[in-house]
Amino acid sequence: MATQARQRLLTTAEELFYAEGVRAVGVDRLLQESGVGRASFYRHFASKDDLVVAVLEDRDRRWLDWLRESVEARAATPEDAPLAVFDALAERFARKDFRGCAFINTMIEVADRDSAAHRVADRHKRRVIEYLGELLTAAGRADAEELAGEFALLVDGAIVTAVREGTSDAARRAGVIAGRLLN
């Protein structure tokens, strides 16, 4: 069935791109690992670049859903929610398969800001900022828009630091800084 082949391609590509990088994984490897034939691949995606975009669009939705659910589970009140983001990230950073942010990684690998993959990754980061703004607004912050950008900088910095250090502690440290911004 065509939809099963498409889903196998998306799942395999997401795993390989995240583990090894977009540029490191070729179409032949994707076909081999997914068990999907070349003709089926091109029936679903005009190119590897189109597959990269589809993977990022799917991951965007799932990652933001995960973040919302994680924050809701941790925050007893709306005032607690902005800092709960960092607790959720600490959990994510502690996973054995954590390799940073798929969107940051893609923006680094696909440095052309006009490429479709770069635009999807940028849109994801903007959606994270919007979500942070929603949390800060619900927490009663009049400066929510400005703080959301600052929190996003802390989130991205914590992600990169967690990769560099190989520990989830960067999320805690970023949360401490975020707490200072709220005071």
Query: What's the pLDDT score for residue 93?
Result: 97
**Cα gap 21→74, rounded to integer Å:** 32
pLDDT at 80: 97
Letter for the amino acid at 74? R
Report whether 13 contacts 25 (CB < 8 A): yes
| Average pLDDT taken over every residue of the chain | 96
In the predicted model, is pLDDT for residue 183 greater than 80? Answer: yes
Euclidean distance between CA atoms 99 and 47, whole angstroms = 25
Query: For position 3, what pLDDT does the model report?
Result: 81
Contact indicator for 101, 67 with CB cutoff of 8 Å: no
31, pLDDT greater than 70 = yes
Distance between CA 155 and CA 61 in Å, rounded?
Answer: 18
Residue 93 identity (one-letter amino acid):
F
| Residue for token pair 């999907």 | 36
Predicted confidence band of residue 111 (pLDDT cuts 50, 70, 90): confident
> Looking at the predicted structure, is the pLDDT value of residue 99 above 50?
yes
Buried b (16+ CB within 10 A) or exposed e, 123-147: ebbeebbebbbbbbbebebeebeeb
Closest residue by Cα to residue 155 from 70, 93, 95, 112: 93
Q: Find out whether 55 and 10 touch, Cβ atoms under 8 Å.
A: yes
pLDDT in tens, 114-172: 999 999 999 999 999 999 999 999 999 999 999 999 999 999 999 999 999 999 999 99
Residue 58: per-residue pLDDT = 96
pLDDT value for 1? 45
Residue 80 CB neighbours (<10 A)? 14
Give the span between the Cα atoms of 145 and 133, in whole angstroms.
5
Other CB atoms within a 10 A radius of the CB of residue 18 amount to 20
Query: Helical H runs in 139-183?
Result: 144-165, 169-182
pTM for this prediction: 0.93
